[in-house]
Structure 1
Amino acid sequence: MMRNHAIRGRRRYLNVVNIGALIIVVLTTAPLYWMATASFKGTGEISADPPTLFPHHPTTGNYADAFGGNSLGRYFLNSVLVSVVSTVVVLALAFFAGYALARLPMRGRGPIMVSLLMISVFPCIAVVTPLYLLERSAGMLNSYQGLIVPYVAFNLPFSIWILRNYLLGVPRALEEAATVDGASPLRTVVSVILPLARPGLFTAGVFTFTATWAEFLMALTFNSEDAFRTVPVGMALFTSQYTVPYGTIFAGAMAATVPIAILVLVFRRSVISGMTSGAVKG
Structure 2
Amino acid sequence: MNKRGGIEFYLFLIIFVFLVMFPFIWVFLTSIKPPREIFSSFSWFTSNPTLASYEAALTNRPLVRYMINSFVVSSLTTILALVFASFTAYAVTRLPIKGKGLILGLVLAASMFPQIAIISPMFSLVTGLGLRNSYMGLVIPYITISLPLAIWILATFFKKIPFELEESAKLDGASPFQTFRKIILPLAAPGIFTTGILVFIAAWNEYLFALTINSDDLWRTVPVGISMYQSQYSIPWGDISAATVIVTIPIVILVLFFQKRIVSGLTSGSVKE
Same fold (TM over 0.5): yes
What does residue range 36-75 of structure 1 map to in structure 2 within 5 Å? 36-53=28-45, 55-75=46-66
The residue aligned with 1:87 is 78
Q: Structure 1 26/240 Cα, relative in aligned 2: closer, same or farther at 3 Å?
A: same
User: 2:240 aligned to 220, 230, 249, which one?
Assistant: 249
User: 1:212 aligned to 203, 207, 218, which one?
Assistant: 203
Extract unaligned runs of 5+ from structure 2.
none
Report if aligned partners of 1:45, 1:52 keep a CA contact under 8 Å in 2. no
User: 1:157 aligned to 145, 148, 152, which one?
Assistant: 148
Q: How much does 1:155 deviate?
A: 0.4
- Greater Cα shift, 129-138 or 72-81: 129-138
- TM value normalised by structure 2: 0.91
Any idea what SS the aligned residue of 2:80 has? helix
Task: State the AA in 2 paired with 1:143.
Answer: S
Task: State the AA in 1 paired with 2:160.
Answer: G
Extract unaligned runs of 5+ from structure 1.
1-6
The Cα offsets for residues 121-141 of structure 1, whole Å up to 9 and x where unpaired, read as 321011112221222222222
Q: How much does 1:50 deviate?
A: 4.2
The Cα offsets for residues 145-183 of structure 1, whole Å up to 9 and x where unpaired, read as 110001011100110110011011112232333344443
User: 1:31 aligned to 23, 31, 34, which one?
Assistant: 23
Report if aligned partners of 2:30, 2:38 keep a CA contact under 8 Å in 1. yes
Report if aligned partners of 1:219, 1:229 keep a CA contact under 8 Å in 2. yes
Any idea what SS the aligned residue of 1:147 has? helix
The residue aligned with 1:133 is 124
The Cα offsets for residues 238-262 of structure 1, whole Å up to 9 and x where unpaired, read as 0001121111101111112112212
For residues 60 and 15 of structure 1, the distance between their equivalents in structure 2, rounded to whole angstroms, comes to 38
User: 2:229 aligned to 238, 261, 270, which one?
Assistant: 238
User: 1:261 aligned to 252, 262, 265, which one?
Assistant: 252
Q: How much does 1:95 deviate?
A: 0.8
Q: Structure 1 49/231 Cα, relative in aligned 2: closer, same or farther at 3 Å?
A: same
Report if aligned partners of 1:175, 1:188 keep a CA contact under 8 Å in 2. yes
Q: Structure 1 124/280 Cα, relative in aligned 2: closer, same or farther at 3 Å?
A: farther
The residue aligned with 1:197 is 188
Report if aligned partners of 2:70, 2:222 keep a CA contact under 8 Å in 1. yes
Report if aligned partners of 2:74, 2:203 keep a CA contact under 8 Å in 1. yes
Q: How much does 1:224 deviate?
A: 0.9
Q: Structure 1 209/178 Cα, relative in aligned 2: closer, same or farther at 3 Å?
A: same
The residue aligned with 2:218 is 227
The residue aligned with 2:137 is 146
Q: How much does 1:96 deviate?
A: 1.1
The Cα offsets for residues 185-243 of structure 1, whole Å up to 9 and x where unpaired, read as 32221122212111111121111111110110110001111111001111100000112
Task: State the AA in 2 paired with 1:23.
Answer: I
The residue aligned with 1:4 is none
User: 1:76 aligned to 67, 79, 83, which one?
Assistant: 67
Task: State the AA in 1 paired with 2:83.
Answer: A
- TM value normalised by structure 1: 0.88
Report if aligned partners of 2:93, 2:100 keep a CA contact under 8 Å in 1. no
Any idea what SS the aligned residue of 1:127 has? helix
Report if aligned partners of 1:90, 1:159 keep a CA contact under 8 Å in 2. yes
- Greater Cα shift, 237-246 or 265-274: 265-274
Query: What is the aligned-residue identity percentage?
Result: 42
- Greater Cα shift, 11-20 or 59-68: 11-20
- Greater Cα shift, 178-187 or 258-267: 178-187
